[in-house]
Amino acid sequence: MPLVSLRQVLDEAAKGGYGVGAFNVNNMEQIQAIMEAARETKSPVIIQASRGARAYSQDRFLYHLMLAATELYPEIPTVLHLDHGNSPETCLSAIEMGFTSVMMDGSLLPDGKTPSSFEYNVEATRKVVEAAHAKGVTVEGEIGCLGGIEDGHGAGLDGLSHLTDPAQAVDFVKATGLDALAIAIGTSHGAYKFSSKPTGETLKMERLIDIHKRLPGVHLVMHGSSSVPQDLQDIINKYGGKLKPTWGVPVEEIQLGIKNGVRKINVDTDSRLAITGAIRKVFFEKPEEFDPRSYLKPAREAMKKVVALRMTQFGQAGHANDYKPLSLETMANSYAAQPVAV
């Protein structure tokens, strides 16, 4: 089946009361790991590429790998999503290439670092919504800024300084007509999210619940949602790595989010940890190896394992064949029948 829209996958998730992991990719092995995990768990799939991933892979390579995924896994509804688009132009170029969903992250200016004004965010997001919906493509927006140390995604901010204001979230959804809303509740990108197990002081689940009460029909997105499992940290450090002690987002908090409107859960760091640990292990135990397959195969397998586990924990497992995918043309017609309120 062709690539499907994020909107349909999230609408179905809302009906079924489950969440869907959105896993970042940069190369063939990561795409294969996710598709194999999806087949094993019978899950719908969201695969996302950041601007960095598009640059790394010369995005046309990535796009054609995704087409191969749809050919080889025809039973899996698969979304190709742009993660953290920094400007309308970036989003439009992804749509042009064939992405079926885009994130316009107008919470930051196009430098990907500086928090923007509400007015800028509305204008940029709305512009993308108009262009995307005309083609049946889904739009995720963000209100409030995540913390994080990753370049270009809120660099320098701490996780708590720009939390989403629930009243502003309502205004933002009304003004933009977006399909999915990313909110800031204390998470950040990367491995170093919390210096101890998060509490209500550091991970603001109450705020998420408040936003869901005000916007019960809106699909919420949790970014920075890797759990940074201790066992994956231990493998890296056992084989020569130097990760500092750190905590991620506990899976049970994500599951609480899913009970309260979270439909898309962004995970990149856990895959990176799994891959790096597996490669380090081969390098450490078999220093004589130099065939890339000898370490990329275990790396792919390790990523598949963590992705399959998350698919089960988020509840998407078993839902790949619940529904018939709609074409982007059908999605465009349904948007046209319900124009965005101003």
Distance of closest approach, residue 272 Cβ to ligand G3H, in angstroms: 8
Beta carbon nearer to ligand G3H, 27 or 237: 27
Q: 24 vs 176, which CB is nearer to ligand 13P?
A: 24
Which is nearer to ligand G3H, 52 or 115 (by Cβ)?
Answer: 52
The span from the CA of 129 to the CA of 253, in Å, is 30
Q: How many residues bind Zn ion (CB under 5 A)?
A: 2
Footprint on this chain of ligand G3H (rule: CB under 6 A): 24, 50, 52-53, 83-84, 150, 153, 189, 268
Cβ-contact 31, 25 below 8 angstroms: yes
The binder of 267, among Zn ion, ligand G3H, ligand 13P, none, by C-beta within 5 to 8 A per type, is ligand 13P
State how far the Cα of 10 lies from the Cα of 221, in Å rounded to an integer.
Answer: 10
Minimum distance from residue 294 beta carbon to ligand 13P (Å)? 27
The HSE-up count of residue 126 (CA atoms within 13 Å, CB side) is 16
Nearest to 185 by CA among 135, 215, 147: 147
CB of 187 to ligand 13P, least distance (A): 7
Closest separation between CB of residue 286 and ligand 13P, Å? Answer: 29
Q: Shortest gap between Cβ of 142 and Zn ion (angstroms)?
A: 8
Nearest CA to 164 among 210, 216, 100?
210
Tokens of 11: 């609408």
- Shortest distance, position 89 Cβ to ligand 13P, whole Å: 19
Q: Decide if 83 is catalytic.
A: yes
**Residues in 219-278 that interact with Zn ion by CB under 5 A:** 223, 266
Query: Are residues 147 and 158 in contact, defined by beta-carbon separation less than 8 angstroms?
Result: yes
Which lies closer to ligand G3H via its Cβ, residue 153 or residue 280? 153
Query: Which residue lies nearer to ligand 13P by CB, 83 or 179?
Result: 83
Residue 53 interacts with which of Zn ion, ligand G3H, ligand 13P, none, CB < 5 to 8 Å by class: ligand G3H
* Catalytic entry in 83, 105, 268, 270: 83
- Whichever of 133 and 162 has its CB closer to ligand G3H, that residue is 162
From CA 61, how far away is CA 18, in angstroms rounded?
32
In the complex, least distance from residue 266 CB atom to ligand 13P, rounded to whole angstroms: 3
Nearest residue (CB) to Zn ion, 33 versus 82: 82
Instruction: Name the residues that contact ligand 13P, by CB under 6 A.
Output: 24, 83-84, 189-190, 223-226, 266-269
Catalytic residues: 83
Which residues contact Zn ion by CB under 5 A? 223, 266
